[in-house]
Amino acid sequence: MMVEIRTPISVDEAINRLMKYKFEGTSETVSFHVCDGRRLAEPIVATSHVPSFDKSPYDGFAFRSEDTAAAKEGKAITFEVVEHIGAGTVPEKHIQPFQATRIMTGAQIPEGADCVEMFEKCEEFTNDGRSFITVEHQMKSGQNIIATGSEVKEGSVLIEKGTFIDPGVKALLATFGYAEVKVAKKPVVGVLATGTELLDIDEPLEPGKIRNSNAYMICSQIERAGGDYQYYGALPDELDSSYDKMKSTLEEVDVLITTGGVSVGDFDLIPEIYEKLEAEVLFNKVAQRPGSVTTVAHAKGKLLFGLSGNPSACFVGFELYTRPILQHALMNPNIFAVRAKALLAEDFPKTNPFSRFVRSYVTLENGQLHVHLAGMDKSNVVSSLARTTSLMELPASETGVKQGDEVEVLLLHVNERQNTFR
Amino acid sequence: MMVEIRTPISVDEAINRLMKYKFEGTSETVSFHVCDGRRLAEPIVATSHVPSFDKSPYDGFAFRSEDTAAAKEGKAITFEVVEHIGAGTVPEKHIQPFQATRIMTGAQIPEGADCVEMFEKCEEFTNDGRSFITVEHQMKSGQNIIATGSEVKEGSVLIEKGTFIDPGVKALLATFGYAEVKVAKKPVVGVLATGTELLDIDEPLEPGKIRNSNAYMICSQIERAGGDYQYYGALPDELDSSYDKMKSTLEEVDVLITTGGVSVGDFDLIPEIYEKLEAEVLFNKVAQRPGSVTTVAHAKGKLLFGLSGNPSACFVGFELYTRPILQHALMNPNIFAVRAKALLAEDFPKTNPFSRFVRSYVTLENGQLHVHLAGMDKSNVVSSLARTTSLMELPASETGVKQGDEVEVLLLHVNERQNTFR
């Protein structure tokens, strides 16, 4: 048997080729009550002025400012309190000269009144069962009144399409009566594992076998990225049945991911299946570690991601290539992981002819981003993935990097389902 | 009517008083398949060695290293290939001197063999229908073999209790056969709105009324923090029925949040209801903006959070006080929002006698955290909340802060459901 020689392309070139096949997402309308964590498929437009009526910012008294023209310390102006309204109660009395309305925070200003003074700055008294206040200072027209539309004008665009729906966005949707919300539909991503060595998670270990962790990890990555996953089980190392399964699966999903079977091993069937599917292979060798065998193809109008069977390579392959495709379909304007500069917290002496994506996590110290290794960087060690919140990207180098060096990191836990940085 | 005078306490003192009443969460067992986004209620312990058998890191040939003792360039040693195994296939042949097994990445090393050499470094030939390889260099015992337990030893603690379950953690759970996972039970948080001015989100606006945005915003904050919310509707501004409703609600939840009604306005009933419930009021005035009226009480063994009816104050009150209580119940070891230093991106000239929590968002520029204002900082403006990913905490000051000043920020979108920073 001959070992196939593949020529590696750069990560940038791989992404360029892939981006030609990114596809537009569709939208669907969901109830306000279940829209958390989705992305807006249309901007939020103010359906009314905010506030929608002139209102009071304080608990106090509303009256005519012109009545205070002669007021000064020692010369009090007296107003009769003719009505008493709380928030949600509509004032009924039209305020006449030297009349006042007792008004609560958020309540509507009565007609005739053009200012509000706080309780603390008025003197109250009663006389013969009637209520009065006195004011010893002048007031200006509009003073302490939140005018209609002063916060938001009806029709203004408040939040852009593609925004992740978090509690603040929800408050805005509620304010403007968006009982239904148009959101980006979750792309459906099929997942197929390959390899006869795979046991399911509830099976006891057997000699020569390992439990299937990749497929479930990818399902979790899809969910975190905002997609819907559909797990179709593991393919046996047998060409015809694997081809049939992939072909039928492809019809049911927007994107198909396989794990394993993309290498040049004797039992790696994915390349042959792609050929049978008449898929256009965009790339099958990338100058990166881990995940150099990551293969992406296009068939029947859909993208096929052939991720490595190695857990770390599989993880990295998803984040680098599949995730941006899903973000685009989800209308996220920032489809790539946030890239930031960070100071390396410990030496990393390994050299590499390829770009390396090192499992790591970041900390903030005095406002400065630092990056730490998540564990042994053997591509076959699964445990460090559980501590990974970033990938440190090291360019090909013959020297390695040292503690204190500035390096680039891809932040995996931000801007996927949350807009932490923008 | 007299205006009640309340003496403000500091935010730190408020948190100190609150922390005496934090409560331990309970755990529940859920299927592996639905554990994403939960927190581990027990550590992940390796249930087996990784790998659980000696395995090959490469596609290549396994044989006895001692057979290569005399090998050197120009002096090839010949091995007969007696078996051919892929990952998941168990080798059956015990390797004898000058025999080799063709072996795929991840496959189990056959008995008798103690090293693996890659395809590329062996010469293959066939003779009379039998397969052979030659090797022209010496091999060491153990070379290119991933030894049993070399990555993880059975019984070792890999991930701590309280960890947020993300894709990497899920890969680990799958690897060790955690078909069921013990997770922290979500605390149940009741939400009650107060105020006759509230319309539901699907109702048209009326004079003097606004739509209820706070209650839904809080439900979303609870969900983001990992809790379960239960929305019980809006209370009318009527004491007896409101008391009855709060009393019965309190029996059904772990924590009860109300929005509004905590001020000293004439229709603010929460203080009276707390009294009727014989609640111990931990504080009802905090030296902070917004949210100085935030009130926390303890009754029937449960915490009651009386958040302001003002949207921003309500938002801030939840993040500062309710969220840490929920994080503790969820076994998150980091109960408080991540606090970081950041450079202020624009002037903020406002002064304040109280600590101020400014709605803001953060960016990373050359690895340095910057903080930007999310919008007008009027406490009654809801729209800026939709752009808020952090709260800038400014201490009481008579001078304001300027662009380029170093300030403290609380990061709201990290370490809640995701461990971005640690």
In degrees to the nearest 10, what's the CA dihedral of A343, A346, A349, A353?
Answer: -40
Task: Name the superfamily (CATH) of residues A11-26+186-329.
Answer: MoaB/Mog-like domain (3.40.980.10)
In chain A, which residues fall in CATH 3.90.105.10? 29-49+151-184
Confidence at residue B55, expressed as pLDDT on a 0 to 100 scale:
92
CATH 2.40.50.100 applies to domain B29-48+156-184: no
Confidence at residue B267, expressed as pLDDT on a 0 to 100 scale:
65
**What DSSP element (H or E) covers A238?**
none
Pick the CATH number of B338-411 from 3.40.640.10, 1.10.580.10, 1.20.1080.10, 2.40.340.10: 2.40.340.10
Q: How far apart are CA A315 and CA A327, in angstroms?
A: 17
Give the architecture (CATH level 2) of A29-49+151-184. Answer: Alpha-Beta Complex (3.90)
In chain A, which residues fall in CATH 2.40.340.10? 338-411
pLDDT along chain B (422 residues), means of 10: 74 98 98 96 94 92 97 96 86 96 92 96 95 97 94 89 94 96 98 87 90 95 96 87 95 96 75 95 95 95 95 95 97 91 93 92 88 68 83 92 95 57 40
Confidence at residue A342, expressed as pLDDT on a 0 to 100 scale:
95
Tens-place pLDDT, residues A334-374: 899 988 999 999 999 888 889 999 999 888 888 899 999 98
CA distances from B21 to A23, A110, B65 (A): 51, 45, 66
Residues from chain A that touch B363, judged by Cβ atoms under 8 A, are: 421-422
Q: How much is the average pLDDT of A275-301?
A: 95
Residues from chain B that touch A205, judged by Cβ atoms under 8 A, are: 48, 52, 177
Confidence at residue A366, expressed as pLDDT on a 0 to 100 scale:
85
Q: Closest to A167 (Cβ–Cβ): which among B53, B221, B367? A: B221
CA nearest to B236 within chain A: A88
pLDDT at A422 over 60: no
- The size of chain A, in residues, is 422
Q: Do B105 and A413 touch (CB under 8 A)?
A: no
Q: How far apart are CA B74 and CA B355, in angstroms?
A: 80
Q: How far apart are CA B87 and CA A209, in angstroms?
A: 7
Tens-place pLDDT, residues A97-118: 999 999 988 889 999 999 999 9
Quickly state the pLDDT bin for A380 (edges 50, 70, 90).
very low
Confidence at residue A418, expressed as pLDDT on a 0 to 100 scale:
40
Confidence at residue B162, expressed as pLDDT on a 0 to 100 scale:
94
In chain B, which residues fall in CATH 3.40.980.10? 11-26+186-329
CA distance B399 to chain A (A): 23
- What pTM, to 2 d.p., does this model score? 0.91
Name the E strands within B99-152. Answer: 99-103, 115-118, 123-127, 130-135
Does the CB of B29 have a partner CB in chain A at under 8 Å?
no
pLDDT at A87 over 80: no
Contacts of B165 (CB under 8 A, 6+ apart): B35, B36, B37, B38, B39, B40, B173, B181, B183
Q: Parallel, antiparallel, or unpaired: how do β-strands A355-365 and A368-373 relate?
A: antiparallel
Residues from chain B that touch A44, judged by Cβ atoms under 8 A, are: 386
Q: If contacts are CB pairs under 8 Å, which of residues 194-253 in chain A contact chain B?
A: 195-198, 201-205, 207-214, 216-218, 220-221, 223-224, 237
In chain B, which residues fall in CATH 2.170.190.11? 60-135
CA triplet A147, A148, A151: central angle to 5 degrees?
Answer: 80
In DSSP terms, B117 is beta-bridged to: B61
Confidence at residue A381, expressed as pLDDT on a 0 to 100 scale:
64
Please answer whether residues B328 and B185 qualify as being in contact, where contact means their C-beta atoms are separated by less than 8 angstroms.
no
Tens-place pLDDT, residues A120-148: 999 999 999 999 999 999 999 999 999 99
Domain A60-135: CATH class, spelled out: mainly beta
Residues from chain B that touch A235, judged by Cβ atoms under 8 A, are: none
Q: Closest to A53 (Cβ–Cβ): which among B166, B208, B413? A: B208
Q: Which residue has the tokens 């009505």?
A: A83
- Percent residues over pLDDT 90 in chain A: 74
pLDDT at A267 over 70: no
Of chain B, the end-to-end C-alpha distance in Å amounts to 51
Amino acid identity, position B227: G
- Helices A214-225/B167-175 angle, 10° precision: 160
Confidence at residue B243, expressed as pLDDT on a 0 to 100 scale:
95
Confidence at residue B91, expressed as pLDDT on a 0 to 100 scale:
93
pLDDT at A263 over 80: no
Please answer whether residues A180 and B154 qualify as being in contact, where contact means their C-beta atoms are separated by less than 8 angstroms.
no
Residues from chain B that touch A90, judged by Cβ atoms under 8 A, are: 207-208
Structure token digits, residue A130 = 């009637």
Mutate to test the interface with A, among B175, B180, B390 (most CBs of A within 10 A): B175
Confidence at residue B266, expressed as pLDDT on a 0 to 100 scale:
63
Q: How far apart are CA A45 and CA A43, in angstroms?
A: 6
Confidence at residue B291, expressed as pLDDT on a 0 to 100 scale:
94
Q: Closest to A413 (Cβ–Cβ): which among B102, B364, B419? A: B419
Residues from chain B that touch A56, judged by Cβ atoms under 8 A, are: none
Confidence at residue B264, expressed as pLDDT on a 0 to 100 scale:
66
CA-based R_g, chain A, Å: 32
In degrees to the nearest 10, what's the CA dihedral of B128, B81, B87, A269?
Answer: -30
Q: How much is the average pLDDT of A284-289?
A: 95
pLDDT at A210 over 60: yes
Mutate to test the interface with B, among A34, A210, A407, A410 (most CBs of B within 10 A): A210
**CA A43 to chain centroid:** 15
Quickly state the pLDDT bin for A75 (edges 50, 70, 90).
very high
ipTM for this model: 0.91
Contacts of A171 (CB under 8 A, 6+ apart): B213, B214, B216, B217, B220, B311, B315, B382, B385, B386
Confidence at residue A209, expressed as pLDDT on a 0 to 100 scale:
87
Most confident option among A231-245, A372-386, A405-419, B211-225: B211-225
